[in-house]
């Protein structure tokens, strides 16, 4: 489960419109997919989100990492 603030939701919708709405609906599934891909556990979202979803996590070898997920956009790729 992904917990995000109403302010983050409003910001994503204001910037990305329908693309952002679709991304928000799939965010929990995307996080689960990335957790499986990279063997992440103990995932805890950062509460003060701005334009991307960030969460602290731990890899299978106990390395602390940050998972960053964003609405697909050319700036995210650069």
Residue 9's pLDDT band, with cuts at 50, 70 and 90, is very high
**Nearest-angstrom CA–CA distance, 25 and 29:** 9
Residue 42's pLDDT band, with cuts at 50, 70 and 90, is very high
Q: How confident is the model at residue 61, as a pLDDT?
A: 97
Q: List all residues 6 or more positions away from 1 whose beta carbon is below 8 Å from its beta carbon.
A: 28
Beta-bridge partner residues of 54 = 68
| Tens of pLDDT, residues 49-64 | 999 999 999 999 999 9
Q: What is the pTM of this model?
A: 0.86
Give the DSSP letter of residue 61.
T
Delimit the domains of the chain by residue range.
Answer: 6-77
């Amino acid at each position: 489960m992904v917990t995000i603030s109403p302010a983050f939701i409003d910001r994503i919708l204001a910037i990305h419109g329908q693309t952002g709405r679709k991304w928000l609906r799939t965010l929990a599934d995307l996080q689960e997919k990335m957790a499986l891909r990279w063997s992440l556990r103990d995932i805890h979202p950062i509460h003060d989100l701005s334009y991307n979803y960030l969460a602290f996590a731990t890899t299978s070898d106990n390395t602390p990492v940050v998972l960053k997920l964003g609405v697909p956009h050319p700036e995210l790729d650069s």
